[in-house]
Amino acid sequence: MLAYRQHPPVLRRSGRSREAGRPTDPDAVPVLAGRYRLAGLVGHGATARVWRARDELLDRDVAVKQFHKSDPHDVVEARMAAQVRHPNVVAVHDMVQHRGSGWLVMDYHDGTTLATLIRGGRKLPPPVVTALGQQLLAALRAVHAAGVSLASGMGPPRCHDLGTTWAWM
């Protein structure tokens, strides 16, 4: 997660974003692990959906990543991501199981996606691009310092998503 600190917006990974309304009956809303009440779909990708949720115990909004299929690698991803502490990396708070799926609980940051900002060929001013690049580099350095290595397996490395990282022991 990148956040341009001098000017908005806050960027999130999914380029497809939509907000679902909260149902009128709070008892009909799924609650995970007895505390995370789903509030709306934020985005989705090939391996997971991301929901905004309310942590009812700590009275705060969180993001919850619902993996499409149960996979032991989900726990590995959660453990790796939880090791990284940096202002430009989304913090991981919890990993829960619900109805056969893994759910990763993280910081929630509302904002505009980078895809939305550059849609239609719009260009960001060079100082903004520079600042975003510096923040991305700082985040990647923090990820690397935590022992997480970003690798595509073949060819040059490409930044994609912490869901595709592997820890090198």
pLDDT digits (tens, 9 = 90+) for 120-145: 889 999 999 999 889 989 988 998 88
Whichever domain contains 93, its CATH number is 3.30.200.20
Number of domains in the chain: 1
Which residues are within 8 A (CB) of 131 and not within 5 positions of it... i.e. 6 or more apart?
4, 5, 6
pLDDT digits (tens, 9 = 90+) for 8-29: 333 333 333 333 444 445 456 6
What is the SS3 assignment for 17-84? ECCCCCCCCHHHCCEECCCEEEEEEEEECCCEEEEEEEECCCCEEEEEEEECCCCHHHHHHHHHHHCC
Q: According to the model, what pLDDT value does residue 161 have?
A: 54
Q: Domain range spanning residue 73?
A: 1-169
